[in-house]
Structure 1
Amino acid sequence: MTGLIARGMGPAFDGLPAPLRALHGAGGLWRGTVTVETGRAVARRLALAIGLPSEAGTVPFSLEIQPDGTGEVWTRRFGPHVFRSYLGPGPDGTVLERIGALRVRMRPEPVPGGLHLRIVGAGLGAVIAPAWLAGRGGGMETVEGDGVRFDVSGRAPGLGRVIRYHGTLAPA
């Protein structure tokens, strides 16, 4: 089965570096290390409420991508903390990530040497506001050896940074 990001990007996916194609091709388990940076007190509570880690630090990390119907279940383990979300196809090649009632629409875009998952909208339930109103963030992935270096962030209007996590992953 072809991965969700590959389907969203179409032929541009084939131009990504091999480790990124492997990560997003058909799922699987990847392991590495992550550094978590949190925001102010209110933002940390928001992170915890949606299931993200609310404590800063560097810990072992794993990402498991499992195909599920037309989408994928992403299970991230930040040390002992487990965070799951469902990613499904959105309109016009976008990807829609569901985290409880929160919805984040991202556009996978190739960049020199990597992949940018740019947030183009977010909201609650079926209501998706444009990125300029909903918040900022997204993910950047580049290659490091046979693995992947990633940097993911989320900011909420009026709260600033909710979370940033960055690190490296390699196939398990």
Structure 2
Amino acid sequence: MKNAVAHWFGEDFDKLNPLLRRLHTQGGRLYGKVDITFGTGISGLIGRRIAGKLGIPSQAGKVPFSVEIRHSPETLFWSRTFANGHTMTSEFQPVKTFRQGGYWIESSGPVNIQLGVSIEGGNWQWLQQSVSIFQLPIPTILMPKVSAGKAIIDALYQFEVKMALPVLGFAFGYSGKLLEYAEQA
């Protein structure tokens, strides 16, 4: 079956760590704990509200977490489940290809984030380009800054997601080291 991720990267797919390549061709489920953090002052208060709207626990600390990654020929799907039992699902649609300067559009509810990609040392770093809500673009001056990446270190899937608000700074983030669920015999 054609795979959206392998197709989008083309020959550059081989630059990714072999475990990332496997996860993004076969799909899989990862689990572990994530460390949720919030900013201070008003940015932290807003961060807790945004996190709550996304289904992310609004208390800082380590919590159980799992993510299921699957594919169709045209789409990459991530379903993240936090300790509170809420699942946040995102669909990623590729536009053009990596070599054509393409990007992905992550859709989660009414929010769309346009994300470029860089490959650094076999790892995958998302590069935010734009954000829209209900298909209305957010002006750059008002746009929250989201940074996210994933890497394989010591055979663990490690990732980090952070959101900062214009002028106010860091709002919230979560990061963790995850293991892959073993297939049942």
TM-score by length of 1: 0.85
> Are the equivalent residues in 2 in contact too, given 1:5–1:108 (CA < 8 A)?
no
Deviation sequence 1:51-97 (CA, Å, 0-9, x none): 33322111222110132562133111122332222222235521111
Specify whether residues 11 and 53 from structure 1 end up closer, same or farther in structure 2 by C-alpha distance, changes over 3 A only: farther
- Answer with 65-74 or 149-158: which moved more: 65-74
Partner in structure 2 of residue 81 of structure 1: 86
Preserved contact between residue 120 and residue 131 of structure 1 (Cα < 8 Å): no
Alpha-carbon distance change, 131 to 9 in structure 1, aligned in 2, over 3 angstroms: farther
When Rg is computed on C-alpha atoms for both structures, the one with the higher figure is 2
Deviates more, 1:129-138 or 1:20-29: 129-138
RMSD between aligned residues = 2.3
2: CA distance between counterparts of 1:117 and 1:3?
19
Which residue pairs with 1:72 in the alignment? 76
User: How many residue pairs are counted as aligned between the two chains?
Assistant: 172
Within 2, Cα distance between the matches of 1:71 and 1:47? 25
CA contact (8 A) 2:3 2:74 kept: no
- 2:158 counterpart of 1:153: no
Matched residue, 1:168:
177
User: Which structure shows the bigger proportion of residues in strand conformation?
Assistant: 1
Aligned equivalents of 2:123, 2:141: Cα separation in 1:
24
Check the 8 A contact 2:4/2:72 in 1, yes or no. no
The amino acid that maps onto 1:28 is G
Name the amino acid aligned to 1:73: F
Partner residue, 2:55: 51
**2:43 corresponds to 1:38:** no
Q: Which runs of 5+ in 2 are unaligned?
A: none
